[in-house]
Chain A
Amino acid sequence: MTLTPLVEAEGLSRNFPLRSGFFGAHRDVFAVRDVSLSVDKGEAVGVVGESGCGKSTLGRMMLGLERPTAGAIRFDGRDLSGVSGSKRRALARRMQMVFQDPFGSLDPRRSVGAQIADGLRVHRIVPGSKIDAEVARLIDLVGLQRNAAGRRPHEFSGGQRQRIAVARALATRPDFIVADEPVSALDVSIQAQVVNLLADLRRDLGLAMLFIAHDLHVVRHLSTRAVVMYLGRIVEEGPADRVFGAPAHPYTRALMAATPSISAGRAKDRDVLSGEMPSPADPPSGCSFRTRCPLASAECAAAVPELAPYEPGWKVRCIKAGPSDEAGARP
Chain B
Amino acid sequence: MLRYVAYRSIVAIFLVWVVVTLVFLLLHLVPGDPAELLLSQGATAADPQAVANLRERLGLNDPLWLQYAHHIGGILTGDLGTSFRDGASVAGQIVQRLPRTLEVIITAALIAVAAGVPAGTLAAIRAGGWVDNVISFLSSLALSTPVFVVGSVVILVFAQELRIVPAGGYVAFAVDPLRHLMLLLLPAGTVALALWAVIARMSRASVLDVLERDHVRTARAKGLSRRRILTRHVVRNAMIPVLTVLGLEMGTLIGGTVLVEFVFNWPGLSGYLVSAVDARDYPEVVGIVMVISILFVFLNLVVDVVYAVLDPRISLAR
B7 located at the interface, meaning its Cβ lies under 8 Å from any Cβ of chain A in the complex: yes
CA distance A22 to B14 in the complex (A): 14
A21 located at the interface, meaning its Cβ lies under 8 Å from any Cβ of chain B in the complex: yes
CA distance A54 to B280 in the complex (A): 62
B3 located at the interface, meaning its Cβ lies under 8 Å from any Cβ of chain A in the complex: yes
Inter-chain pairs besides A21-B7, A22-B3, A22-B10, 5 sampled, C-beta below 8 Å: A21-B3, A21-B318, A22-B6, A22-B7, A22-B318
Return chain A residues, CB-CB under 8 Å to B7: 21-22
CA distance A22 to B6 in the complex (A): 9
Return chain B residues, CB-CB under 8 Å to A21: 3, 7, 318
Return chain A residues, CB-CB under 8 Å to B10: 22
Residues of A within 8 A of B (CB): 21-22
Task: Classify chain B: how many residues form its interface, as a range.
Answer: under 10
The prevalent SS among residues of A at the interface is loop
Number of A-B contacts (CB under 8 A): 8
Return chain B residues, CB-CB under 8 Å to A22: 3, 6-7, 10, 318
CA distance A21 to B318 in the complex (A): 5
CA distance A22 to B13 in the complex (A): 14
Residues of B within 8 A of A (CB): 3, 6-7, 10, 318
Among residues of A, the one whose C-beta sits closest to the C-beta of B8 is A22
The prevalent SS among residues of B at the interface is helix
CA distance A21 to B10 in the complex (A): 13
What's the minimum C-beta distance from A107 to chain B, rounded to whole angstroms? Answer: 27
What's the minimum C-beta distance from B80 to chain A, rounded to whole angstroms? Answer: 31
Return chain A residues, CB-CB under 8 Å to B6: 22
What's the minimum C-beta distance from B317 to chain A, rounded to whole angstroms? Answer: 10
What's the minimum C-beta distance from B28 to chain A, rounded to whole angstroms? Answer: 32
What's the minimum C-beta distance from A17 to chain B, rounded to whole angstroms? Answer: 13
A selection of 8 A-B contacts at a CB cut-off of 8 Å is: A21-B3, A21-B7, A21-B318, A22-B3, A22-B6, A22-B7, A22-B10, A22-B318
Among residues of A, the one whose C-beta sits closest to the C-beta of B11 is A22
CA distance A22 to B318 in the complex (A): 7
Among residues of B, the one whose C-beta sits closest to the C-beta of A19 is B318
CA distance A46 to B6 in the complex (A): 48
CA distance A21 to B5 in the complex (A): 12
Among residues of A, the one whose C-beta sits closest to the C-beta of B10 is A22
What's the minimum C-beta distance from B5 to chain A, rounded to whole angstroms? Answer: 11
What's the minimum C-beta distance from B2 to chain A, rounded to whole angstroms? Answer: 11
CA distance A21 to B3 in the complex (A): 8
Among residues of A, the one whose C-beta sits closest to the C-beta of B7 is A22
CA distance A22 to B7 in the complex (A): 7
CA distance A22 to B11 in the complex (A): 10
CA distance A21 to B7 in the complex (A): 8
CA distance A22 to B5 in the complex (A): 11
Among residues of A, the one whose C-beta sits closest to the C-beta of B3 is A21
Return chain A residues, CB-CB under 8 Å to B3: 21-22
Among residues of B, the one whose C-beta sits closest to the C-beta of A20 is B318
What's the minimum C-beta distance from B87 to chain A, rounded to whole angstroms? Answer: 44
What's the minimum C-beta distance from B45 to chain A, rounded to whole angstroms? Answer: 52
CA distance A288 to B92 in the complex (A): 66
CA distance A22 to B3 in the complex (A): 9
Return chain A residues, CB-CB under 8 Å to B318: 21-22
What's the minimum C-beta distance from A303 to chain B, rounded to whole angstroms? Answer: 33
What's the minimum C-beta distance from B287 to chain A, rounded to whole angstroms? Answer: 32
CA distance A21 to B2 in the complex (A): 12
CA distance A136 to B108 in the complex (A): 65
CA distance A167 to B134 in the complex (A): 53
Among residues of B, the one whose C-beta sits closest to the C-beta of A22 is B7
Closest 3 A/B residue pairs (Cβ): A22-B7, A21-B3, A22-B10
What's the minimum C-beta distance from B229 to chain A, rounded to whole angstroms? Answer: 31
CA distance A71 to B124 in the complex (A): 55
What's the minimum C-beta distance from A25 to chain B, rounded to whole angstroms? Answer: 14
CA distance A22 to B12 in the complex (A): 14
CA distance A249 to B7 in the complex (A): 46
What's the minimum C-beta distance from B15 to chain A, rounded to whole angstroms? Answer: 15
CA distance A21 to B316 in the complex (A): 8
CA distance A287 to B3 in the complex (A): 35
